[in-house]
Amino acid sequence: MIWNNFLAVGGSVVGVEHKRVGRNNQDAWAINANKSDLVAVVCDGCSSSPLSEVGANLMARFISDKALELTNNGQVSALDIFPQLEFETLEFIRGIAEKFRYRKYSQIIDTMFLATIMGAIIQKDQVAIFSLGDGIYSVNGNVEVLDYNNIPPYLGYKVYPMDFDTDISKINLQCMEIFPAEEIQTILLATDGAQDIIEKSGGQLLGVSAEEKIGGLEQFEKNEKYEKNPSLLQVRLNQMNLPRAVVDWKAQEIKKSEGILGDDTTIVLLKRR
């Protein structure tokens, strides 16, 4: 998507560990815009929930739509919408759960609607980064990692709080940072699977030219090829997780790799053109 002076593009790949046990990609992303505002969201579904990719996709799309509605074509500051955005998202989830009349409603939440949230809202004068749970964001190359040791809070717990053993007072969709819009060159949003890209930066992909290193998140922000051909973001994620087998003639052995991204990995890039 090209919006005003920004390129907005996303990509997602299933993690090696999920492929190994036959799970789907449980991440999701959405980008939405009107004439005045752009909203991007990534959601990471809980790995132990069998259908969390369903809820992650529904939540990413709903949040991006509702955020645009609440900012009212740029008339309302993004800073002021997060309590209402959280409430509306909870009502959306509850409305779906309560259509399953012959199941315990919290069972629907546990099965489908446990997902983290990471997002950005670009308005004329300001940019807001918001989140609930773990994930990664980078603004102008400054990377922030939100880590909950694989036990993140999920908004879904607040739909029927009495059915989950958790302190909901600590579960809030919140603004992480606000930036003047004119200062923004790049924003990158990612699920926590992208930590492997950070940690393995500088290494080599098996079977790829020794001159081509894995690269960190900055490769997406700085390399002009992703601007010239946005589909290459998805191609690069696919390349990182292709299974490979290469003959090492010197060692007389076959080296194998299933990919470098253990967990599902989703990236959304917003870049000024």
Residue type, 217: L
Predicted confidence at residue 101, as pLDDT, reads 79
Instruction: Work out the mean pLDDT of the chain and round it to a whole number.
Output: 91
Among candidate residues 11, 96, 36, the one with its CA nearest the CA of residue 62: 96
Rounded Cα distance between 23 and 58, Å, is 18
Torsion (CA) 62, 63, 65, 66 in degrees, nearest 10: 110
pLDDT tens for residues 130-162?
Answer: 999 999 999 999 999 999 988 899 999 999 988
Q: Which CATH class is domain 2-194+226-243+262-272?
A: alpha beta
pLDDT tens for residues 7-35?
Answer: 999 999 999 999 888 889 999 999 999 99
Share of the chain above pLDDT 70, in %: 97
* Higher pLDDT pick, 226 / 111: 111
User: pTM of the prediction?
Assistant: 0.93
- The structure tokens listed for 249 are 């003639």
Mean pLDDT over 76-98 rounds to 96
* Higher pLDDT pick, 170 / 113: 113
Residue 236 in this model has a pLDDT that exceeds 60: yes
Q: Where do the domains of the chain lie?
A: 2-194+226-243+262-272
Rounded Cα distance between 175 and 99, Å, is 31
